Amino acid sequence: MGTAPTGRPIKPGGRSATTAETPATTRGSRGRTHQCGRRGRSRRTRWCALRRRSTNSACTSAAGGIVYVGSHDGTIRALDAADGAERWRVETSNRVLSSPAVLEDTVYVGSNDGNVYALNREDGTQRWAVDTGAGVRSSPAVADGTVYVGTNDGTLYALDREDGTEEWTVSTDRRIQSSPAVADGTVYVGSYDTYLHAVDAEDGTEQWSFRTSGGVFSSPAVADGAVFVGGNDGTVYAIAVADGSERWSFETGNEVKSSPAVADGTVYVGSMDDLVYAIDAADGSERWSFETGGSVECSPAVVNGTVYVGSRDTQIYALTE
């Protein structure tokens, strides 16, 4: 078995790529250049940017030129994407670790105070709030007039998006911090009970469940008749949407809390082993891997062939062929 420049074994079907001829750099606020190149990476670095460390970490989403931010200080803020000016803020009574979901004129977000909030997108006024009785770290998914969200007591809620009326609930054995994915009338959500659950979006009836070897923090992605999700057992799974059978599994070196992104037949996902992986969506073979300087819990974003991902080494990477 050959080895990539990092010394990491190449998985069957995998391939290594050359590193950039010159390391990428970013310029800090004091004009210092930050070295981004690392020995033995198996993917070309287009650029990487240094992020400031902060004890006040935030969960963000953006729409219409506004960035919506939930924070450890319990606030939900709307910031102008161009200059960072604050448009409005709403205070909750506990940390906001849920990323807001924005649909039309409403922002939906959960808080560790146990509430799911629906806020006016323009001025932050409260449209409704539902007290679930448990912390809400799961980020809401909104589809067909319903808000789907999980709670720390293991309950998946379906709420009417107009007034917050409870449509149905489903209980799992452990907390739900995975964010639901909704596709073709089915809601997919992971739980710390080790299962990925597929339930009917109309009434919550279970269609199937798939057991992993660890809790599921990663949020699922649905594409090409499969659900892709990472597990705390260090494995990325491809599961058939039709019956919950396993199509393939891919082992990484540590927990997978990053949520997969799927584009052009490739699954991109980070692992707590410091690597970003590109996996063939059809058969699970490794296309390439890229080593960062820290664990990768963030979910990649793919735009025009470039993969953007953050790492706990405080850098944001742009990776390209």
CA gap 213, 132 in Å, rounded: 28
Question: Taking 60 as the threshold, does the pLDDT of residue 224 lie above it?
Answer: yes
Q: Class of 55-171 per CATH?
A: mainly beta
Phi, psi of 183 (to 5 degrees): -155, 130
Contact 303, 293 (CB under 8 A): no
Architecture per CATH, domain 184-250, reads as Beta Barrel (2.40)
Place of tokens 């699922």: 220
Please tell me which residue, 231 or 70, carries the higher pLDDT value.
Answer: 231
Q: Please, where in the chain does CATH 2.40.128.630 lie?
A: 55-171
Q: What percent of the chain has pLDDT over 70?
A: 81
The topology under which CATH files domain 1-50+252-321 is Thrombin, subunit H (2.40.10)
pLDDT of residue 310: 83
pTM recorded for the entire structure: 0.81
Per-residue pLDDT band for 81 (boundaries 50, 70, 90) equals confident
**Per-residue pLDDT tens digits for 31-47:** 222 335 443 344 556 55
Longest dimension (CA), the chain: 60
pLDDT of residue 43: 58
**Per-residue pLDDT tens digits for 121-146:** 999 999 999 999 999 999 999 999 99
pLDDT of residue 240: 98
Q: Please, where in the chain does CATH 2.40.10.480 lie?
A: 1-50+252-321, 184-250
Radius of gyration of the chain (CA): 20
Task: Give the length of the chain.
Answer: 321
Contact 121, 135 (CB under 8 A): no
243 burial via Cβ count (<10 Å: 0-12, 13-18, 19+):
exposed
Q: Which two tokens stand for residue 221?
A: 């992605």
Write the CA distances from 296 to 4, 164, 219, 250, 311, integer angstroms. Answer: 20, 34, 14, 16, 5
CA 197 to chain centre: 17
The residues near 19 (Cβ < 8 Å, ≥ 6 apart) are 5, 37, 40, 41, 42, 43, 44, 45
